[in-house]
Structure 1
Amino acid sequence: MNSRDIVLSRIRRALADVPRDGGPEETHVPRDYWQRHAVRNDAQRIDLLAENLSDYRAVVHRCASTELPVVIGRLLRDRGARRVVAPWAVPDGWLPGDVERVADSAGQSPRDLDAVDSVVTGCAVAVAETGTIVLDAGEDQGRRRISLVPDHHICVVHAPSQVVDSVPQALSRLDPARPQTWISGPSATSDIELDRVEGVHGPRRLDVVISSPGAG
């Protein structure tokens, strides 16, 4: 028996009590696994998110909500960004007046987006335990392509409302019918000799701005 036969036999055993004409929606799946692995307050949850994002080589910035334009402007100036793509729901006030705002549009090609210096988006939810930010093509996040092609991504996380402890908690907030992008740090891969290469299938630099009502 080869590996394929072993896998298929396990699947058949697992489905032995399922009617052949039954669909996924007709079969109850227990969801009794842990929803989180510790009890944390908002401050602890945000600290853990920042720590795990940094472990993945994202650059984390914490600020008050009123300071978002200043922080984003500084990050764009540090990169020398002149053309910035931003979904329509990203406030104009977040972007400096001296940059060209590029709209997120269906007609953009990968070449068009590669010519953009940076992208600024919000997020749908952020997972503290895994250091992950999730985009679901919401109004302040735009199409998936804009967070995958440009070399620099600035992502704003509103804390504490968008920060959860665990992946199960994040999934409960997401619509499975929407396109999702799960991001843990900047894009990176390694070859057989474990030489790390960044920016292969996503941004080379990821700045995560955690914004809260009070001072960061």
Structure 2
Amino acid sequence: MSSRERILGRVRRALADTQGEDTPIERTYLREHGDRSVEETVELLAENLADYRAIVHRCASADLAATLAGMLAARGAKTVLVPPGLEPAWLADADTEQIPDRAESTPHELDRIDSVVTACAVAVAETGTIVLDGGPDQGRRRITLVPDHHICVVRVPDQVVSSVPQALERLDPVRPLTWISGPSATSDIELDRVEGVHGPRTLEVVLVDSQASEDVNS
């Protein structure tokens, strides 16, 4: 008898008393930790993003273009990579050359670009994680991995959830998902932290409060 036959025989014996019936699995884990308001959830996201060394900005929708322009100017960015579906108004005030996301762009060409601006699919407050799914306003995965500076815009509160299970409900598992918790970083055997190894060295997140704009206009 081969090893394969012995292993399969043990499996059959172990399953003999189930009679082919599917046994439901009880899933009693928490979907989120604590009972937070929307405002508290957004605050937790901001805290955890900062804890992961992301730079967090907050503004109203009406101020987004000026905020992004100021961030790019402070960075000294001359070029900014733009996904095809990014709202043009977001970069209307930016004094930078806008480079479209092209399939033929080489990694070397992407590495020479100063900054990239994208939206996101969802943000997880409990883990301080931004998730991209390759949507039109986020572009292909490589444009957020090669340039050294990534600015990600999160619409608050619509794109903010408390927990990973809640985020998964919003995501399509067949899409190219990129989960980002702070700038790219790694540590060597002596625990010396090095940033920018597997992605951007600097991650800036803009929490855009659409409700603030509605309150001002009402």
Which TM class, normalised by the smaller chain length? Answer: 0.7 to 0.9
Separation of aligned partners in 2, 1:107 and 1:137: 17
Find 1:188's aligned residue among 167, 185, 189: 185
User: d(CA) in 2 for partners of 1:174 and 1:156?
Assistant: 17
Structure 1 residue 17: Cα displacement: 4.1
1:71 equivalenced with 2:97 (yes/no): no
The residue that corresponds to 1:129 in the other structure is 126
The match for 2:115 is: 118
Larger Rg: 2
- Report the 3-state secondary structure (helix = DSSP H, G, I; strand = E; otherwise coil) of the residue aligned with 2:120: coil
Secondary structure of residue in 1 paired with 2:189: coil
Q: Tell me: CA distance 1:17–1:167, structure 2 relative to 1, closer, same or farther (3 Å).
A: farther
Could you tell me how far apart the structure 1 residues matched to 2:140 and 2:156 are?
Answer: 23
CA distance in 2, matches of 1:73, 1:64: 14
Segments of 5+ residues of structure 2 without an aligned counterpart are 1-6, 17-21, 214-218
1:47 aligns with 2:7: no
Q: Any stretches of 5+ residues in structure 1 without a counterpart?
A: 1-8, 19-25
Q: Distance in 2 between matches of 1:144 and 1:103?
A: 14
Q: Cα 1:27–1:205, aligned 2, differ >3 Å: closer, same or farther?
A: farther
* 2:78 matches 1:82: yes
Alignment deviations for residues 51-81 of structure 1 (CA, whole Å, 9 cap, x no partner): 0000000000011111110111011001111
CA contact (8 A) 2:68 2:94 kept: no
Deviation of 1:39 after TM superposition, in Å, equals: 1.4
Residue aligning to 2:3: none
Does structure 1 retain, via aligned residues, the 8 Å contact 2:48–2:126? yes
| Whole-angstrom CA distance in 2 between matches of 1:17 and 1:129 | 39
Structure 1 position 33, deviation (Å): 2.3
Give the one of 123, 142, 145 matched to 2:142. 145
SS at match of 1:85: strand
Aligned-pair identity in percent equals 61
Please report how far the alpha carbon of residue 214 of structure 1 lies from its aligned counterpart in structure 2 after TM superposition: 4.0
> Aligned-residue CA RMSD in angstroms?
2.2
1:159 has 2:150 as partner: no
- Number of residue equivalences: 198
What is the match of residue 198 of structure 2? Answer: 201
Q: Please identify, of 118-127 and 205-214, the stretch whose mean Cα deviation from structure 2 is larger.
A: 205-214
Letter in 2 for 1:44: E
Q: Which residue of 1 aligns with 2:171?
A: 174
Measured in 2, the distance between the counterparts of 1:37 and 1:124 equals 22
Equivalent position of 2:216 in the other structure: none
**Letter paired with 1:56:** Y
Whether 1:105 and 2:105 are equivalent positions in the alignment is no
Moved segments of 4+, more than 3 Å: 26-32
Farther off after superposition, 85-94 or 185-194: 85-94
Whole-Å separation in 2 of the counterparts to 1:165 and 1:108: 36
Q: Contact (CA 8 Å) 2:126, 2:162: kept in 1 or not?
A: yes
Cα shift at 1:30: 5.1
Q: In structure 2, the residue corresponding to 1:146 is in which secondary structure?
A: helix
